[in-house]
Structure 1
Amino acid sequence: MDLTARLDEMELAIYKPSFRQSSGRANEVNYWVFDYPPEKELEVRDRIEYMKNKNQKGNDEVELVVFDLYDMIIDFLEQKNFLEKCFEFEKKRGLERITKAVNNSMKINDDDSLIVQYIREHTSENAIVFLTGIGKCYPILRSHKVLNNLHQAFVRCPVVMFFPGTYNEQELILFDEMKDDNYYRAFKLVK
């Protein structure tokens, strides 16, 4: 199935009442992954923007809330006046050290992660959450960290993570080479 058809199927699926029930298959958390070829990123972004604008007109009985994880990280760094410091720190210490520093400052590995707090505070009860920007923030933010921390604290509405790579309900493969084989409590939204 081509990407346009998969996006159409995804859009139909999320507006079904059964999709918005409090738990997923086998009483798992209601977390989903929509995977797509990384080279189709702009097409996926356009569809999400279209869906968000359409939803804001108030025709749907559910609110579509989109969180770009990369934008959340950049906003945090700018608010703390850390962004320029991060550039210098990366030059001196390398990507691995800056990744660790950003993760620590945002409490990425903690249950009270600033990303989880933000999502929880900015999501209504009657919502569907879209997580985007996964590819843009790699390796600073890993998708399994977001899903694992989020499902500990946020189960009141469905979450769909848009992943630029391949997901087979066991592992995520980013850019056809970087395998993230951590356990995921999420289901593939469209086959």
Structure 2
Amino acid sequence: MTEPIHEDLSPAERFDRAYAVMRSDDFLHMRGQLGEVPYFILGHPAADEPEVGAQVKRLVGRLRADGIEVCEVDLWALARAMWAETGQWDAILEQESALPKDSFADVGNVISPQKYLSPRITSIVRAQEPTPQLVVLTHVGRLYPLVRAHTILNTLQPLLSDLPVVLVFPGEYRQSPTQGASLVLFGQLLDDDYYRAFDLLKLGNP
């Protein structure tokens, strides 16, 4: 049986609950994860997407007001910056409608999680001063299908496992004792099996 995505929660209630978990000492000091990587999924229904940006901003603002150092990484903005650095992005956008789909393989290579994107995320976190106490990753859905959420998390783990990392995910993190765990983008597209993370909203709310 899969776990629910807390469909009964409004966007504000969902992020209020996330705030309560993320500000706790147990969360910040990664207690109770039994040696697992401190990666967490903050899922939300795709229908809530228009409100999520404001809720993330409110969440991060509240945490910072509590004196908690947060490193927020907008994955879509980071990818655009990396594409812009190639000097080819404007040309690709201008010709997008005329280009064959396989032309975008090169676009995806520029933000390959293993080679480029995850190391870049890590460098952003390490460069922030004061040192962050937690990391929040947003807008992963905008990178689909060039980059999948589970690939970012898998390639990030060897580089960044000493801080809690929260992925704001437009979909469900389904966990089942018989079928394992998987990320389901927009509640419909199976991103892939991924079992190393915890459902953030279930912490303290079984």
Match of 2:5 in 1: none
Match of 1:150 in 2: 156
Unaligned runs of 5+ in 2: 1-7, 176-180
Q: Which stretch shows the higher mean deviation, 64-73 or 22-31?
A: 22-31
Question: Which AA in structure 2 matches 1:9?
Answer: R
* Cα-to-partner distance string for 1:134-182 (whole Å, 9 max, x where unaligned): 1112112210111011111001211100110111241111123211223
Give the distance between the partners of 1:111 and 1:92, measured in 2 at CA: 24
For the structure 1 residues 2 and 117, does the alpha-carbon distance in structure 2 shift closer, same or farther, using more than 3 Å as the test? closer
Kept in 1, the 8 Å contact 2:69–2:134? The answer is: yes
Question: Which AA in structure 2 matches 1:120?
Answer: V
Give the distance between the partners of 2:199 and 2:52, measured in 1 at CA: 16
**Is 1:137 matched up with 2:143?**
yes
Aligned equivalent of 2:90, options 84, 93, 96:
84
For the structure 1 residues 164 and 133, does the alpha-carbon distance in structure 2 shift closer, same or farther, using more than 3 Å as the test? same
Match of 1:66 in 2: 72
Give the distance between the partners of 2:122 and 2:199, measured in 1 at CA: 25
1:44 Cα deviation after fit: 1.9
Give the distance between the partners of 1:82 and 1:90, measured in 2 at CA: 16
Aligned equivalent of 1:101, options 94, 98, 106:
106
Match of 1:174 in 2: 185
Match of 1:47 in 2: 55
Q: Which stretch shows the higher mean deviation, 105-114 or 178-187?
A: 105-114
The alignment yields a C-alpha RMSD, in angstroms, of 2.4
Q: TM-score, normalised by structure 2?
A: 0.79
Q: TM-score, normalised by structure 1?
A: 0.85
Give the distance between the partners of 1:112 and 1:10, measured in 2 at CA: 26
Q: Which stretch shows the higher mean deviation, 140-149 or 14-23?
A: 14-23
Question: Which AA in structure 2 matches 1:103?
Answer: G
**Is 1:115 matched up with 2:120?**
yes
**Is 1:28 matched up with 2:55?**
no
For the structure 1 residues 155 and 90, does the alpha-carbon distance in structure 2 shift closer, same or farther, using more than 3 Å as the test? farther
Match of 2:171 in 1: 165
Identity of aligned residues (%): 26
For the structure 1 residues 102 and 182, does the alpha-carbon distance in structure 2 shift closer, same or farther, using more than 3 Å as the test? farther
Give the distance between the partners of 1:93 and 1:168, measured in 2 at CA: 34
Give the distance between the partners of 2:193 and 2:120, measured in 1 at CA: 20
1:55 Cα deviation after fit: 4.3
**Is 1:2 matched up with 2:13?**
no
Give the distance between the partners of 1:113 and 1:86, measured in 2 at CA: 23
Give the distance between the partners of 2:200 and 2:63, measured in 1 at CA: 20
